[in-house]
Amino acid sequence: MQVMRVKLTGGEPEVLTKDAGVHRAAVSPDGSFFVDTASSLTTPSRITLRKGDGTAVREIGNAASSAAFETIAWGQAELFTIPSADGKYQLPAYWVKPPDFSPSKKYPVIFTIYGGPEAGTVSNAWPALAAHYWAERGVITISVDHRGGGAFGKAGVALMHRNLGKWEMTDLMAAAAWLRTKPFIAADRIGIAGSSYGGYTTAMALTYGAGAFNYGIAGSSVTDWALYDSVYTERYMDTPSENPEGYKAGAVLTYVDRYKGGLRITHGTIDDNVHMQNSVQVIDWLTSHDKRFELMIYPDSRHGIQAAQRAHLNREAHDFWVRNLLGGKLPDVVVGVETSKPTKSDKAPRAKDAPKERERTP
């Protein structure tokens, strides 16, 4: 994503930034300057003051310039595509592999997802530090956008009308199958995690997609679109009376008898966006049918777990992955590995930038 400008009278937009990656601008009141914050998959954030025409005035900050940056064995981040099962789409993806990656080893995988319509998570931007943390410990983190995630325009998003859950699972399961064709993937240790709509996608992955995914952490999850607010749901699903088949096909409980284990559920007790009833109905089925799963309820937390409980949330998620993907033992940190150095002009291919967080979406 580049910073551009266009005349009010129309015409072609003028690109003001040149380096590949994701650029975000804070423009001065009179438009004569802007602060450009940019990064790519292999170049961490750098902040540059630019004139209104894009000319660089001075660099304000650069994460790669610190001495500490050079001491870290960063993961190997790559942007690529995965073919959909029907061959119609090349699904945008990126992964962060271990800094000492070897094709002769076996690596577990964590999918990090959101999954909502027109809400892709793949972009040519510096990955979350958690991805590098796991890479140093021998875990590949991957993100894949399905055909309705926005990369394929309105036509792709339109496929999700009356079909929430269908294409997310179709394409993410295809991505998991593609991973299993790689000799360096631990086929029995593929995890998936997300919150809100990402929690829905995770819960569906462990039920609808049971077998494609071995473990998952579902946070603050929608599990039945009949339980979510109408202003969002009916935009995509129409009303329950108009689309009963779609609501049934998009509900986690429709597929819960496929569940093979490996799910961790978290939810805040006073979540007023995705009500806790969504998780409770799945918990009820799992306990009534004596199925193994993990559960953590956060008292007095809303849709975002409150700050006082966040350290617990993060530690427990971390330990869940250590138990299930790493055999219960956290490997030594990879240090002293020669990795590619950040460059001033990264030429990696661009992908659609992840959208801004929307108000009142699951």
In order, the DSSP letters of 6-42 are --TT--PPEE---SSSEEEEEE-TTSSEEEEEEE-SS
Asked about 196 being catalytic, the answer comes back as yes
Average the pLDDT over each of 265-269, 313-317, 326-330 and give the range with the smallest value. 326-330
pLDDT at position 45 over 50: yes
Query: Active-site residue among 23, 279, 303, 353?
Result: 303
Q: At what angle do helices 197-205 and 166-180 cross, to 10 degrees?
A: 60
Verdict on whether the full-model pTM lies above 0.85: yes
Decide: residue 280, CB within 10 A, 0-12 exposed, 13-18 middle, 19+ buried.
middle
Q: What is the mean pLDDT of residues 248-254?
A: 98
Asked about 303 being catalytic, the answer comes back as yes
pLDDT digits (tens, 9 = 90+) for 143-172: 999 999 999 999 999 999 999 999 999 999
**Could you tell me the pLDDT band of residue 337, with boundaries at 50, 70 and 90?**
low
Query: Active-site residue among 196, 220, 279, 301?
Result: 196
**Could you tell me the pLDDT band of residue 359, with boundaries at 50, 70 and 90?**
very low
Query: Active-site residue among 19, 100, 271, 353?
Result: 271
pLDDT digits (tens, 9 = 90+) for 178-216: 999 999 999 999 999 999 999 999 999 999 999 999 999
Q: What token pair was written down for 256? A: 């819960």
Element containing residue 322 per DSSP (H, E): helix 307-325
Superfamily of the domain at 72-325: Alpha/Beta hydrolase fold, catalytic domain (3.40.50.1820)
Asked about 271 being catalytic, the answer comes back as yes
For the chain, residues classed under CATH 3.40.50.1820 are 72-325
